[in-house]
Structure 1
Amino acid sequence: MHGWINDWKKGGNVRHRARQARQPIPWRGGVQAQQVCHWGHGRRWFEVGRVIDQDNNQQTRSRGEEGDQADSEHKTAMHFFKSIHDDDEHAFESEANGTIQNVNDKWEAEAWLNRCGWPRHLEGIDPNQLRALLQPIGDDEPVLQRMWEVFEQVLDDAYDATVRECYPGTAELFEIARKEVHITTAKPFQGLMEPDAWERYKSRWKQLLCIWKRYQSWNAGDVSSEDGESSHSDSSDTSSTDGDDSSSSPSAIHDDIGRRPPYKMTIRQEEAWKAFNHGITQVVTGTDIRGRYTHERLHRSCLDTVVQFLDHPFKSGNHYDSIIISALAVMGLDEGGGWVPVTNYTPVYSAVIKVARYLVLYQSILERLVLQSKINSSRVDLIDPL
């Protein structure tokens, strides 16, 4: 027992005793309590809060000390919450900056990633370095700037030629719209597009070109050592772009970046890309003294290179050997972290596929014009041999 006895007795001068200090009491005042219910064990009171302003007789510290303690408690609380925020931010950045990991889960998002195979293709590569490939063309990339100028002109010419030369009923329109080799489509390829849609479609191919060119700044040595075979793109990059890699790569990409995505060019793709890249470099650096790389030559070299990229045989069964499909995997990275949702990425496929059809049609039109010119020349020679 606490042995406490109430010193207030009945009678006497109550006002006088109220002004005097009372003896300590064995309970706390100013406590807020609550009941669960009004019957049984629920009738017991339990503490839910305290009143800050207590009676002066029960205060053990002065107001100044309470203010100092409040400031100290406030600083402690702020430090505590800041440490939690810093830990969460550090964990988030660590996860975002970590290398890409393969996924193996049954959830819908992971099922989409498993089906497209992006994590498998880009596994172990820093996603921040991959996102740097998607950055807009910088002022320190003159070769890439000139490449896009030529490529954009090729795309516009391909669109104009398709609309002008391929009228409704043209055989090429049915062939290019074919989805399977043994099935002839009933509807021809629709060439007309809205101007704003065409600009959006071209922007997707601009990203592809940026990725292809910036791939050269990556150290591809790990790819050949892992696969046990050499990649044709390695020899092309080292032999033709020794002087322009540093000027055509964004500042976010460094020489010690590590291995790049393991795509593989064919011999023809390597030769076509090497010729196009070398011609653009000669023009930009002013070393084309003889003027061999005219606008028409660069124009056709660009078209042939892209068509060669589209004509990629899948002998090993790995679709990501194609430099186009490899770049499409990089375009699947979201700017804010993670992967682009499937609903947001399908327009990318639509843009790439449709523009590819324009390019193939354009090349067939040019080849047909060249063949007709040769036939007409041979006829003239037969009629007038002199």
Structure 2
Amino acid sequence: MTAFLALTSTCAFSVPVSVSAQPQQINIIDVAGNLALTQKIFENYKAAHPDAISRFTFTKAPAPELAGKLQAMQNAGRLDVDIVLTGTDGLAAGMETGVWEDLTASTSTFGNPDDILSPGAIGLQKLAKMNGIVIAYSQQGPFIEYAPDRVKAAPTTAQDLLAWCKANPNKLVYARPANSGAGRTFLMGLPYILGDKDPKDPVAGWDKTWSYLKDLNSCIEYYPSGTTAAFKEFANGTRDLIVTTMGWDINPRALGIVPAEAEVKMLDNTTFVGDGQFFAVPKGLSDEKKKVVLDILKFALQKDQQAIIYDSGYLYPGPSVKDVTLDMAPAESREVIGKFGRPMYDELIAKTPTEVLLEPTAMVKAFRKWDEEIGAGKGQ
């Protein structure tokens, strides 16, 4: 794995009692794009705790590869990853293979999640069963995003979307759900939109969803391996309509990747599928490293650090800790969200029902079924 150079910061903090006998190198792997939100938090920690941290190294990797790599390292006794920043996909795969440290006994260090987290984040935390802690949270979506100059009448129902796709073949895109937050939000949101028998059971309760996705498959050229690749195709005009979330709407427009005039639509009967990103600790850390890692987690859950997660709307809203509001965020975050955010998002968050993602075992089954029955042969 190629690690990034250590980060430093000139921010001034008071230095607390040492949490480590000697400064530690902490190796972080990000399989969720979480560093876009949290890198500044790690910089701040290093500045505040020079006695604890000699350097951070950062590696990025695809989520589907994570669990197997960690398990191989642990089996060989050569673990060189200290913190994993992951979405629910990577966390679920790691829970299935048993690679995560159970953090239940460590709440005396960083606090009880039920006391710290927002209500939506608590729901997501329950799925993790203390295999990781929710570090960022969003009600997500799903939404559809479109180019108004190329899509004159945006779909408003799932059947409208299917009809539009068939009338405009190869112009709709979404990424492989197992490696895409927007993709899995769409996948797990469809059972609610379509009125399926059991939205929590992808094998026995999603008859309408799988039938719909197979029908939709007929007018989709292929499924990009990740959300970024899908949005590049939307941005360059190859695709006219893309499945999205609040954050994936705001952030690419703020960065100039997607035209600012792109519009979004929420399909009728939508229930939001809350999603987030986790701070997870692999089994096998030395006691010294584990002590530092848990202190980093405690630091990252402080409200002033959580406010940084508003960032440029990447996982809007973003903070997982309760009572962290936009006015607490850095000025640049407030400016970006003021310009590229949409007032309707806060209104929809307040009134739209929200469910948590599938529990990990069901999630793995849903991804596997999608890969085998929908994505197979479509150049994932």
TM-score by length of 1: 0.22
**By percentage of residues, which structure has more strand?**
2
**By percentage of residues, which structure has more helix?**
1
TM-score by length of 2: 0.22
Bigger RCO (CA 8 Å, 6+ sep): 2
Larger-Rg structure: 1
